[in-house]
Amino acid sequence: MSQRPGKSGRIAGENILHVEQLRVEVRTDRGPGPVLVDNVSFDLRRGEVLGLIGESGAGKSTIGLTTLGYTRGGCYITGGKLDFEGRDIRQMSGAERRALRGPGVAYIAQSAAASFNPSHTLMQQVCEIPVKHGIMSMDDARKEAVKLFRELELPNPDTFGNRYPHQVSGGQLQRAMAAMAMAARPDILVFDEPTTALDVTTQVEVLASFRKLIREHGTAAIYITHDLAVVAQIADHIMVLRHGKMVEYGTSDQILQEPRQEYTQRLVADRAAGHTFRDDVASGALPILAVQNVTASYRSLAKVIDGVSVEVRKGDTVAVVGESGSGKSTLARVIIGLLPREAGDIQFQGQSLPPALANRSKDQLRRIQMIYQMPDVALNPNQTLLEIIGRPVQFYFGRSNAEVRRRVLELLHMMDLPEAFITRRPGELSGGQKQRVGIARALAAEPDLIICDEVTSALDQLVGEEILKLLKKLQDDLGLAYLFITHDLGTVKRIANKVAVMLKGKLVAGGETSKVFAPPYHPYTELLLSSVPEMRSDWLDQVLTGRAKTIAAVRAAQVQLPG
C-alpha cells in the first residue's frame, strides 16, 4: 500500500503535477450550469509553491480540490488533464483516489475548527492518515507528529497532541492541521485560505511556520488566498484567476512589481493603497457620542470591555481596531444597547443614553444605526428591498405607502442600485449589492451616527473598496459620523481620522490616526501595524527579525495597564 511511484526518488525541480486545460462545470437536474473553471493549465514542480489568487467565485478552491480528485457536490470535471506523477487523476478508480489523498496530496482548509473532530485528541487525528494508509505504525506516527509539532513551533510539542481541538487557540489549530496534512509526507500540500480567519498578528506566525515547513520538507504546495500580500511571502509563482479563467501567470515578483493585465494592476494598486493618512479633523464642537469609562460583561464572566472611553464628533470616522476578543464588537453592542453597560456613561447629543435598549426612546434608537459584517444574515431573506429599506421610514416617520416607496427609490439611487431592485429579495443580489442595501436601510432612519461592524471583511477586495468609497461620499454629502469597527489596519489608515486601539477589553491607544499610527507608537500598535502584510516578497523576513522585541514590549506594557 505504501508503494507510490516516485516517492523514493524525490528530485527537487522534477515536475509532479501537470494540469492542462482543466474545465469544471456545474451540472444540475435541469442540464448544464455555470462553468467554474475554464481552460486552466499549470505545472507544479517539487519544492515549488504556486499561489492561486482571485476573488470569491474565481474558481481557486475548485482547482485546489480537483488536485485531490475531488469536486464539490454537483460539480464535474468535464475536460482537461490532471496528471499526478504521470497518472491522470481523472482516470483513477475510487480506491486509487483514496490512496492519493493524504500520502499524495493533502488539504489544509480555511476553518481548522470545522475540520477537526471535537471528540478526538489532536494526536489521534494527526496520526490517523499515515496509520490508515499503512505508511507508519502508530508509534512511529506519534514520534513523527511530535517532530512536526516542534517544527511548527507549537507549545509543549511532546504533550500538545493530548489536547482536544477546543483546548488550543485558532492559530495553533491551524498549525495542527498543517501537521495533520504533513503527517503522511504528501508530495503536494494544498492550502485553502489557511490564514484568512486568523488575526493579523497570528497570521504572521502561522505564515512563517507554513513557509518553514514547506521549505524544510521540499514539498510542493498550492497556496490559495485572496490576499496578494500574503501569497507574496510564500509563493514562487502566482496565478491570478477571475470567473474561472486564468488572468495572469508569473513569478511572484513579476506579478507584484509589473503586473501586465489590467485586472491584476487594479488588485495590486488597491492593495498597496493603504499608505496615505486621512488627516482632516472634524469640526463639530460637541461630540455626538461620548463613551465614558464604560465597563460591560456577559453574565458574570470577566469584563469584556473595561473602562473604555471614545468620542465621536460630527463628520468623524473613528476606527476601533483590535484583534478578535479585544471587545471591539462588544463596544458596539453596548453603544446600541443590546448589552447594557455596567458602569460608566454613554452621552449622545449631550444626553445620557439609558443602558438598556428597552428604555431608549424611538428617537434615540433612530439616531444610531448599524451596518453589519455579514449582509447575508443582516437582511431578512423573505422580505423585498421595499420592505427592508422602507420599514425604518414607515416606523420612525410614519409616512404613507407612496412616500415610503418614493424614499426607497431615492435611497436605491443613492446606493447606485437600479430602481427595479425594489421588488427583489436579498437572495437575488450579490454580496456587494446586499451590503449596499444594509447601508440604505441604515440611512433610511436618517441617523447621526452609523456603527460599521467589519462592513468590508466579508466582501472581495475590490467590492469592499467600492463600499468604502460610497461610505466616504455619503459622509461628505450628509455629514454623518461613523464608528468603524475593523481589524483591517490598511482600511483604517485611509478612511479614519481618529482611531482607538483595543487590547483585551481595554483601550491602549487613541486619538488622531496620523498620530497614533506614527512613532512613538504604543508597543501593541506597533505590533499590529507591523503584522499587516505588505506587498513585497521580503516583508515576512523583515517582520520576523524585529518581532521578538516588540512582543516583549507589549507584554511589559500590558503589565503596566490598570486593573
User: Under the rule (CB under 8 A), what is the footprint of other proteins?
Assistant: 336-338, 357, 360, 362, 365-366, 370, 372, 374, 376-383, 391-392, 395-396, 426-427, 441, 445
Instruction: Report the C-alpha gap between 322 and 453 in whole angstroms.
Output: 12
How far from each other are the two terminal CA atoms of the chain, in whole angstroms? Answer: 60
C-alpha distances out from residue 488 to 40, 455, 500, 513, Å:
32, 11, 13, 14
Instruction: Return the number of the residue (168 or 312) whose C-beta is nearest other proteins.
Output: 312
* For other proteins, the closer CB: 277 or 395: 395
Q: How far is the CB of 380 from other proteins (least distance, A)?
A: 4
Q: Could you tell me the smallest distance in angstroms from the CB atom of residue 561 to other proteins?
A: 32
Task: Name which of 430, 466, 457, 563 is nearest 505 in CA terms.
Answer: 563
Q: Which is nearer to other proteins, 405 or 515 (CB)?
A: 405
Dist CA 494 CA 483 (whole Å)? 14
Least distance from C-beta 225 to other proteins, angstroms?
A: 23
How far is residue 376's CA from residue 434's CA, in Å, rounded to a whole number?
7
Question: For residue 198, how far is the Cα from the chain centroid?
Answer: 7
Closer CB to other proteins, 375 or 505, in the complex: 375
Nearer to other proteins, 178 or 480 (CB): 480
Residue 357 or residue 557: which is nearer to other proteins going by CB? Answer: 357
Q: Which of 263/396 has CB closer to other proteins?
A: 396
Q: Which is nearer to other proteins, 336 or 532 (CB)?
A: 336
Which residue's C-alpha cell is 488536485? 67
Instruction: Enter the DSSP assignment of 342.
Output: S
Rounded least distance, CB 377 to other proteins, Å: 5
Report the nearest approach of other proteins to the CB of residue 226 (Å): 19
Closer CB to other proteins, 374 or 470, in the complex: 374
197 Cβ neighbours under 8 A, 6+ residues apart: 110, 111, 170
User: For residues 374 and 551, which CB has a smaller minimum distance to other proteins in the complex?
Assistant: 374
Residue 206, φ and ψ in degrees, nearest 5: -65, -40
Interhelix angle 200-217/539-560, nearest 10 degrees: 140
Identity of the amino acid at 455: V
Q: Give the separation between CA 268 and CA 520, rounded to whole angstroms.
A: 29
Considering the complex, what minimum distance in angstroms separates the CB of residue 441 from other proteins?
7
Q: How far is the CB of 272 from other proteins (least distance, A)?
A: 33
In the complex, least distance from residue 396 CB atom to other proteins, rounded to whole angstroms: 8
Least distance from other proteins to the Cβ atom of residue 374, Å: 7
Q: Within 13 A of 549's CA, how many CA atoms are on the CB side?
A: 6
Residue of 304, 286, 389, 387 lying closest to 340 (CA atoms): 304
Q: Which residue has the cell 467590492?
A: 463
**Of all helices (H) and strands (E), which one includes residue 306?**
strand 305-313
Cα–Cα distance for residue pair 171/155, rounded to 1 Å: 12
What DSSP character marks residue 150? H
Supply the Cα-derived Rg of the chain in whole angstroms. Answer: 26
Identify the sign of the CA torsion 115, 376, 417, 480.
negative
Report, in Å, the least distance between residue 453 CB and other proteins.
Answer: 9
The residue type of 544 is L
Dist. CA 481–CA 472, nearest whole Å: 10
Cβ closest to other proteins, residue 381 vs residue 520: 381
Report, in Å, the least distance between residue 336 CB and other proteins. 5
